[in-house]
Chain A
């Protein structure tokens, strides 16, 4: 077995399953939001704010934000280990790969916190 400490769960199966489940959440969220925009032409800010005042919408949006965090982390981690590895950059590839992973994580984590601030008007 190949060991890793930087991927989401250390299990390929868990990462794989989580990426698919989060894809369903993100797909459903996108369709619902797009549907709302199509059904409400000439949308005003008050309507938009009202939508996000509903608890269910806040829960769904938070779920979507956390899904983006998990989904994109699995994807970006995979990309970083595909393209920034010893084969491409030699034995010191970790000096590129690890910072890239940290930047990705900080960016994704920031999106979640930022999203929470916007949703709850903090």
Chain B
């Protein structure tokens, strides 16, 4: 099978380029894209990419696979190969450090901006802050985000304004803390989001929903944030 991989080493290459590999895929097996990258690494040890858990939990190997963002470790070849060719590029919109490794500083900066931790100034109870099963249920579909950046780097609004628009991943997390019954900083969190960029750059095109490897729905969370902003302001 032909595999075309984005290559760029800033120390030796003037420009990025696509390198073609021929890989022998074992018969009757539907390998994951990460397995193919590992086979390529045997051919060319200089090929650079991130990977860690290899089971869709750590979020390290987010890549553009056949033009669609996804995690290499849980994307089977049968979903990724088009015309007997596999095309692998780094996540779009972020600066490339080398080959398939991107600089995620802007992505993390936006995550940091939404204060991704519980804020509660009331005295802590002796054991724990209890939450009813109903309140806990509100966090389902939000807490599962693994920060792989597949969604934010598939979002044109994040491509244009990654320094100002929080992006789908950050906003999913923002809603995760807005929805948490144990958090008491709702007003402060909403006030931080009421500018023309942080939330309202979302156009609802739902690329984020299409690519999320965990099947989450950032667009819905953004809709909830808008509703909360609307309710608190009217």
Q: Which of B175-228 contact A (CB under 8 A)?
A: 191-201, 226
Binds A, one of B29-37, B65-73, B156-164: B156-164
A2 B198 Cβ-Cβ under 8 A: yes
Residues of B within 8 Å of A83, CB to CB, are 160
* A15, B161: Cβ atoms closer than 8 Å: no
Task: Say which residue of B164, B192, B194 sits within 8 Å of A11 (CB atoms).
Answer: B194
Q: Take A15-B200, A16-B200, A16-B226 as given contacts and tell me if A82 and B195 are in contact as well, using a CB distance cutoff of 8 Å.
A: no
A55 within 8 A of B: no
Q: Could you tell me if B233 and A1 are in contact, using CB atoms closer than 8 angstroms?
A: no
Closest A residue, CB atoms, query B203:
A78
Q: Which residue of B lies closest to A84 (CB)?
A: B160
**What A residues does B198 contact at CB under 8 A?**
1-2, 12
Known interface pairs A13-B230, A13-B233. Does A2 touch B157 (Cβ–Cβ under 8 Å)? no
Q: Is the CB of A11 within 8 A of B160?
A: no
The verdict on B229 contacting chain A, using a C-beta distance below 8 Å, is yes
Q: A82-B161, A83-B160 are in contact. Are A12 and B191 (CB under 8 A)?
A: no
Report the contact-size class of chain A (Cβ under 8 Å from the partner). Answer: 20 to 34
Q: Is A81 an interface residue (CB 8 A)?
A: yes
- Chain B: interface size category: 20 to 34
Asked if A85 is at the interface (CB within 8 A of a chain B CB), the reply is yes
Q: Is the CB of A12 within 8 A of B160?
A: no
Contact with A along B159-176 (1 / 0, CB 8 A): 111101000000000000
Contact call A81/B195, Cβ cutoff below 8 A: no
Report if A2-B196 is in contact (Cβ < 8 Å); known contacts: A13-B233, A16-B226. yes
Give chain B residues whose Cβ lies under 8 Å from the Cβ of A10. Answer: 195-196
Please pick, from A4, A17, A88, the residue contacting B196 in the complex, using a CB distance under 8 A.
A4
Q: Determine whether the beta carbon of A11 is less than 8 Å from that of B195.
A: yes
| Contact status A17-B161, CB under 8 Å | no
- Report yes or no: B160 in contact with A2, Cβ–Cβ below 8 A: no
- Bound Cα distance A12, B202 (Å): 11
A3 interfacial by beta-carbon distance below 8 Å? yes
Taking CB atoms, residues of chain A closer than 8 Å to B160 are: 82-83, 85, 87-88
Q: Is A61 an interface residue (CB 8 A)?
A: no
- Binary contact readout B121-165 vs A (1 if CB under 8 angstroms, 0 otherwise): 000000000000000000000000000000000000101111010
* Assembled-state Cα–Cα distance A4/B165 (Å): 13
In the complex, chain A residues 72-109 whose Cβ is within 8 Å of any chain B Cβ: 78, 81-83, 85, 87-88
A7's nearest neighbour on chain B, judged by CB, is B196
Q: Which residues of B contact A (CB under 8 A)?
A: 157, 159-162, 164, 191-201, 226, 229-230, 233
Spell out A's residues near B (CB within 8 Å).
1-4, 7, 10-17, 78, 81-83, 85, 87-88
Q: List 22 contacting pairs A-B, 8 Å CB cutoff, sorted by A.
A: A1-B192, A2-B197, A4-B195, A4-B197, A10-B196, A12-B193, A12-B194, A12-B198, A12-B200, A13-B194, A13-B226, A14-B233, A15-B196, A16-B200, A17-B230, A81-B161, A81-B197, A82-B160, A83-B160, A85-B161, A87-B161, A87-B162
